[in-house]
Amino acid sequence: MPINILMPALSPTMEKGNLSKWLKKEGDKVQSGDVIAEIETDKATMEVEAIEDGTLAKIVVPEGTADVAVNDVIAVLASEGEDVKAAASAGAVAPAKPAAETPKPASTSAASAPAPAPVAAPASVPAPTPQANGHARVFASPLARRLAKDAGIDVANIAGSGPRGRVVARDVEGAKSGKGLKAPGAAPGAALPAIAPALSDQQVRALFPEGSYEVVPHDGMRRTIAQRLTASTQTIPHFYLTIDCNLDALLKAREDINAAAPKDKDGKPTYKLSVNDFVVKALALALQRVPDANVSWTEGGMLKHRHSDIGVAVAMPGGLITPIVREAENKPLSAISNQMKDFAARARARKLKPEEYQGGTSAVSNLGMYGIKDFTAVINPPHATILAVGAGEERAIVRGGKIEAATMMSVTLSCDHRAVDGALGAELIGAFKRLIENPVLMVV
């Protein structure tokens, strides 16, 4: 039976992608795990692997095609022993999309999502069809249904990552730990409604003389950022807490640590710590000391995380991305520093993998290098907090009744009031301040 290879959803918010390159040609043998194509999403360029053995019978979408919708047929694979020409003909006339609208992930969820959807799906998989009671039929593999039953989980409450939103075994395994569960009462594939702009394109352009501006089309990244942050500010009740931190002890410790760094074979230091590395470590440890703030809000219940997975905003042409330092509370400062340098380089080249920027329990946005004293950052779901970090600068402070000069840094914690109350947020930012001002606590 011919197998339709579908445009995969390589991130929770992906609706379209650019098929940049085919790495196999028609007639080539394909084995499960072979990289068959490269796809550009709003965040990165990623490789797509086959999940079935066979022969690439027909390429439906040529390389270089932009804005290919998720779940569109991009190629047809002939199964082992199947006539390739017959498979190409049969697969080519198979419907590329289900009759009903394909469920899509909500645009506000940036992480904690199930693994990316499989690349190939049998052409015979039926399309979801609305039932008489108004609810869409739940499609799940037999193994997934059995695992869900054994775990006592209603399969209808699990977000599917398989072809056409089908629930597969890995989705059930994720649901056991609270990942990929739909909110009670939510319709399958329900997403936040689109937000109408205050002014239309024509209304905005009418305010400026023709020829006085250049229209720069939005790319996928800019559209995704706009959708997520609009939804975040409209659906998450933000509140903000600002505190000043004395950096004098940290700057001295940083200088000593960097001076003692071992050299590699070329005589270069194996690491060079930045203030931001200390910030990431301090936030990770603060979340461990105030575990009730290390949470994510869901309608079904609070997800209380065991580890501190800290996202760090990295600027790149056209937008930003937030790679995640996993289990940052357990990593030495040197490891955090080197990992962030690697993330930043690959982020700017759009080479990060989805699992490297999806998820996280909190985040850091640092504009100190631009001289910004303080600012507020927008929470990136599923996080419940984000720390905005300003510049370290010399200020006059009063100590023991005397005015002294000290290097101070203002930080502002944005909190999701559904998950983190004011007193809890104050406890968290207070724990962060103690760690930043006493850096020895980060290494014991």
319-368 pLDDT tens trace? 889 999 999 999 999 999 999 999 999 988 888 888 899 899 999 999 99
Burial class from Cβ neighbours inside 10 Å (0-12, 13-18, 19+) for residue 265 reads exposed
**For residue 124, what pLDDT is reported?**
33
Whether residue 178 is predicted with pLDDT greater than 70 in this model: the reply is no
pLDDT class of 223 with cuts at 50, 70, 90: confident
Dihedral over Cα of 341, 344, 348, 351: its sign:
positive
Assess contact for 41 and 221: CB atoms under 8 A: no
- The tokens for 59 are 């390429």
Count Cα atoms within 13 angstroms, Cβ side, for 234. Answer: 13
pLDDT class of 371 with cuts at 50, 70, 90: very high
Q: What's the average model confidence in pLDDT over 289-318?
A: 94
pLDDT class of 141 with cuts at 50, 70, 90: confident
Q: Which is it for strands 362-366 and 310-312: parallel, antiparallel or unpaired?
A: parallel
Residue identified by tokens 């779940």 is 71
Q: What's the average model confidence in pLDDT over 65-75?
A: 87
- The reply to whether 305 belongs to the active site is no
Whether residue 40 is predicted with pLDDT greater than 60 in this model: the reply is yes
Contacts of 239 (CB under 8 A, 6+ apart): 414, 415, 417, 422, 425
pLDDT class of 281 with cuts at 50, 70, 90: very high
**For residue 96, what pLDDT is reported?**
39
**For residue 156, what pLDDT is reported?**
80
* Domains defined for the chain, CATH in brackets: 3-128 (2.40.50.100), 223-442 (3.30.559.10)
Select the more confidently predicted residue: 1 or 285: 285
Distance of alpha carbon 346 from alpha carbon 364, whole angstroms: 18
Whether residue 116 is predicted with pLDDT greater than 80 in this model: the reply is no
List strand residue ranges (DSSP E) for 15-158, in order: 16-22, 29-30, 35-40, 45-49, 54-59, 65-69, 73-78, 120-122
**Does residue 201 sit in helix, strand or coil?**
helix
- The residue from 218, 305, 383, 417 that is catalytic is 417
Dihedral over Cα of 183, 102, 232, 202: its sign:
negative
Least confident residue range of 35-39, 187-191, 257-261, 390-394:
187-191
- The tokens for 352 are 């990060």
Distance of alpha carbon 444 from alpha carbon 440, whole angstroms: 7
pLDDT class of 181 with cuts at 50, 70, 90: low
Select the more confidently predicted residue: 127 or 412: 412
Q: Which is it for strands 35-40 and 54-59: parallel, antiparallel or unpaired?
A: unpaired
The pTM (predicted TM-score) of the whole model is: 0.63
**For residue 202, what pLDDT is reported?**
84
**For residue 113, what pLDDT is reported?**
35
**For residue 106, what pLDDT is reported?**
36
